[in-house]
Amino acid sequence: MSRILIVEDEVSIAELERDYLELSGFTVEIETDGKAGLERILQEDFDLLILDLMLPEVDGFEICRKVREVKNLPIMMVSAKKEDIDKIRGLGLGADDYITKPFSPSELVARVKAHMARYERLVGSNTPVNETIEIRGLRIDKTARRVWINGEEKNFTTKEFDLLTFLAQNPNHVYTKEELFKKIWDMESIGDIATVTVHIKKIREKIEMNTAKPQYIETIWGVGYRFKV
Ligand code: CA
């Protein structure tokens, strides 16, 4: 969920902004003086800052400048004076938007959404996305090598993970125990195809509600196993 910090000394305005933003699904925090606001924005992870210009202790100019030195989150500056807005634009402090009071709350929300979407696209493009497989309640994160069943994480050994992932990646395909053994254990000659049976049993104990009636890995009698989708 996206978190927004409002630094605004006029409490009624801050609360109005917060109420509208919360209705749009944002989590909103308020600070009413510049010093506390600056500390929080530097120390915590917010996704957007709504910053009033005239503030006690530390003003919006100073906050914007300091935040920009270390963070690239969107900053929307708010002022009652049109002249101030023109002035801060000229200063090139790095704010992303400027709003003159009074403004309509719905306009504020629309602008916040637009900046948030743009910022997420920017940040998102730099963040590597983990490769995951999701089938019903089962979630396999191949990059992190982690497995969840209905939101609960389960611990898998390396081979259990490899076997489950291989089957889940190739659903509706029946593999013999020999094929699976060759595939997962490869050239390791220790063990035999009974190892496959043992590992399937352990995987089922972790992911199946009822191991007697498997929902994911089916036994095809006399042939092998198939991952059901
Ligand atoms: Ca003010």
- Whether 51 shows a pLDDT value over 80: the answer reads yes
Distance 121 CA to ligand 1 centre (A): 31
What single-letter DSSP state applies at residue 195?
H
Summarize the confidence of residues 44-60 as an average pLDDT: 92
Whole-number pLDDT of residue 127: 57
Distance 119 CA to ligand 1 centre (A): 26
- Whether 15 shows a pLDDT value over 90: the answer reads yes
Distance 15 CA to ligand 1 centre (A): 14
- Phi, psi dihedrals of residue 145, rounded to the nearest 5°: 50, 55
pLDDT classification of 113: cutoffs 50, 70, 90: very high
pLDDT classification of 121: cutoffs 50, 70, 90: confident
pLDDT classification of 134: cutoffs 50, 70, 90: confident
CA-nearest of 226, 33, 209 to 137 is 209
Whole-number pLDDT of residue 187: 65
Q: 121 in helix, strand or coil?
A: helix
Whole-number pLDDT of residue 229: 84
Distance 55 CA to ligand 1 centre (A): 5
Per residue in 72-89, pLDDT (tens digit) is: 899 999 988 877 777 777
Distance 145 CA to ligand 1 centre (A): 50
Cβ(132)–Cβ(140) below 8 Å = yes
Whole-number pLDDT of residue 92: 72
3-state per-residue secondary structure call for 33-63: CHHHHHHHHHHCCCCEEEEECCCCCCCHHHH
pLDDT above 90 coverage of the chain, percent = 62
pLDDT classification of 39: cutoffs 50, 70, 90: very high
Distance 12 CA to ligand 1 centre (A): 11
Distance 32 CA to ligand 1 centre (A): 9
Whole-number pLDDT of residue 188: 59
